[in-house]
Structure 1
Amino acid sequence: MPHTLFRGLFAGLLAGCCLNQAYAANAAADLPNSERTVSTVLLRSDHSWDGTRYKSYPAGQPQLTMLKIAIPAHTALPWHTHPMPNAAYVISGTLNVESRDGRHKKTLHAGDTLPEMVGISHRGVTGDAPVELIVFYAGVKNMPTAMKSQ
C-alpha cells in the first residue's frame, strides 16, 4: 500500500508537470523558439550509483524533503546511510563520492546528478572548492534523511 501511495504521489506530480508543460507549450506557441519552455530529464533510475537496485519506498505517510547543502572545500563528510531513495543535483564544485567498503567511487561536477545509495555506508569528499547540492528525499514523516554510520 505505501508503494501505491508514492506511485500516486509521483504520478500526480508528473501529471501536473505534463499539464503545466502542455499549457506552457500552448501559451508559448506564438513566442519565438528562444522563449519556449523546455523540459530535460536530469535523472531517471531504478538503482543507485553503485548499481544496487532500489527495493521499495518506506511504509507510512509520504513526506518529500528537498535540501540545499553547502559543503566547504577540503571536507570529508561523515560516513552515513540513507533510509530512503533520494537523488542529488550538483549546483557547483566537484564532489567525490565513495562507498565505505572502497569498491565504488565516482566524481561529480556541476550539472551532474546522483541516484543515492540506500542502506549502504558512503560519504562525499570535496576538493579545493566548496560544493553546493540540491538533494531530493522520498521518505515518510519523521524519517531522518541520513544516519551516521558506525
Structure 2
Amino acid sequence: MPSSLFITACLSLSGCAQTSTAVQTEPLLKTAHAWEGTRYEAYPEGRPELSVLKITIPAKTTLNWHTHPMPNAAYLISGELLVETRDGKHTRLKPGQVLPEVVNVPHRGTSGNTPVELIVFYAGATGLPLSKPD
C-alpha cells in the first residue's frame, strides 16, 4: 500500500495506534583521567583512527604486561576483571562498568572464574599499534 494511502486510511480510522518512543541516553563514562588517576595529556599524532574490539578472555587467565599508546575505554559485558599496574594500583571491573584505560603505563588484567567479554574503544592513529608488550 503506498504510504499516502496508508496515512489517509489511518487518519480516517479511530483504531490506529500511534507509538511513541523517546530516545534515552545513559552516560557511561566522561573523564579526563585514567582509572588510576593519570590525566590524559593528548591524542597520538597522525591521522585519527578509531578501533572497537570485542575481546574475550578465558576464565582464570592473566594477560601479559602491556601498555597502550592512546586513550581507550573498556566496557565489561560479562565476567569479572581485575586490572593492575606494576606499582600495585588495582581495580575490579564488573558487568556494565566502564574502565578508562591507562596510557603508556604497564598494566595487565586477570579474569575471574568465568570468561570475560568486553568491548574496547581505542582513539588512535593510523599505523599505531593498539597495545605493546612491556
1:84 aligns with 2:70: yes
Distance 2:97 2:19 in 1: 30
Distance 1:113 1:105 in 2: 15
Q: How does 1:101-120 map to 2 (within 5 A)?
A: 101-102=87-88, 104-120=89-105
The offset of 1:148, in angstroms, is: 0.5
Unpaired segments of 5 or more residues in structure 2? 1-17
CA RMSD of aligned residues (A): 0.9
- State the match for 2:80 in structure 1: 94
The offset of 1:37, in angstroms, is: 1.6
Question: When the two structures are aligned, how many residues end up with a matched partner?
Answer: 117
- State the match for 1:27 in structure 2: none
- The counterpart of 2:113, out of the listed 128, 134, 142, is 128
Give 4+ residue runs of structure 1 displaced > 2 Å after superposition.
none
Q: Which has the larger radius of gyration?
A: 2
Higher relative contact order (CA 8 A, sep 6+): 2
**TM-score, normalization: structure 2?**
0.85
- State the match for 2:45 in structure 1: 59
- State the match for 2:10 in structure 1: none
Distance 2:122 2:29 in 1: 14
Unpaired segments of 5 or more residues in structure 1? 1-29
Q: Identity of paired residues, percent?
A: 53
**TM-score, normalization: structure 1?**
0.76
